[in-house]
Structure 1
Amino acid sequence: MGIHYKDAAEGDDALIAEINTTPLVDVMLVLLIIFLITIPVVNSSIFVSLPREANPVQDAQAQDVIVTVDAEGALYWFDTPLTARENLEPLLAKVAAMQPQPELHIRGDARADYDSIGYVVYAAQRSGIARIGFVTEPPRAP
């Protein structure tokens, strides 16, 4: 008496000796989608606590200029720190001369003094920047 195994030709329940790659492909596609969504969100390396305010969503254009004001009042041109406040106006004057003129986006920390952010707005006005926007975070859902 021994154990009898069916041959593949004997029945419908033949063993399949292939690896099912469908779950692997599904997981990889989900990870790819997650990375594609999260990478553009990380657009600046300077941490600031943005004020929470509801505003309509606009697509940022590649030529938009970003000036960041951190909690201590330090100014950054994109991700480059400005050594003195007076260095901002010449940069803004170059931007104001461009055609079409880029939009200025101010990323001001919610803890920053009004004086620091007001200086950026004043310098933009003196330089002739026509469009200024403030970058905020959406309010928390209740």
Structure 2
Amino acid sequence: MAMSGGKDDGEPMMEMNTTPLIDVMLVLLIMFIITIPIQTHAVKVDLPQNDNRPQNVIQSEKNTLTIDPQGQSYWNGSPIDDVTLRQYLDRTVVMAPQPELHFRPDPQARYEKVDQVLAIIKRANVSKLGFVGNEQYRAAF
């Protein structure tokens, strides 16, 4: 098989049969491909984490504190309780420059609740406090 007769003159053909060599090479190539570990291309990206807390609840220039007729306090439009209000006020006092606090109680809000919120503001040592919306009381006096 390695040698075959070829010419008419009766001399043996001296070329090597390369078919088995190619078969062996193909088997080795397949084994090499199978043993190579699968390459994973990954780009590492730091994605922001989902945080349920509002991020920028305290603004650097001015913050608005309102009280509705039912006595609920709102900090920049978000409802808050007295403990959270005190925490926000403590954070604003240490900011440089200290942001203004615009206080806007509803005319129908109970005076007791307004007085409690003013006491919290005073205990927090807020120096930039302004009453907003007093023009609504102009016709009453």
TM-score by length of 1: 0.51
Counterpart of 1:63 in structure 2: which amino acid?
E
Residue pairs, 1:114-125, within 5 angstroms? 114-125=111-122
Instruction: Give 1:95 deviation, angstroms.
Output: 0.5
| Partner in structure 2 of residue 67 of structure 1 | 65
| Partner in structure 2 of residue 29 of structure 1 | none
Aligned residue-pair number: 79
Instruction: Decide which structure has the larger Cα Rg and report it.
Output: 2
Separation in 1, partners of 2:134, 2:87: 29
Separation in 2, partners of 1:113, 1:129: 22
Separation in 2, partners of 1:100, 1:121: 22
Q: Matched residues, percent identical?
A: 31
**Deviations 1:48-91 (Å, cap 9, x if unpaired)?**
xxxxxxxxxxxxxx711110100011000111111x22211001
Instruction: Give 1:137 deviation, angstroms.
Output: 5.0
Separation in 1, partners of 2:134, 2:118: 20
Structure 2: which 5+ runs fail to align? 1-59
Instruction: Give 1:126 deviation, angstroms.
Output: 1.1
CA 1:137/1:128 → structure 2, altered by over 3 Å: closer, same or farther?
closer
TM-score by length of 2: 0.51
Two-structure CA RMSD over aligned residues (Å): 1.9
Counterpart of 1:71 in structure 2: which amino acid?
P
Superposition misfits of 4+ residues, deviation over 3 angstroms = none
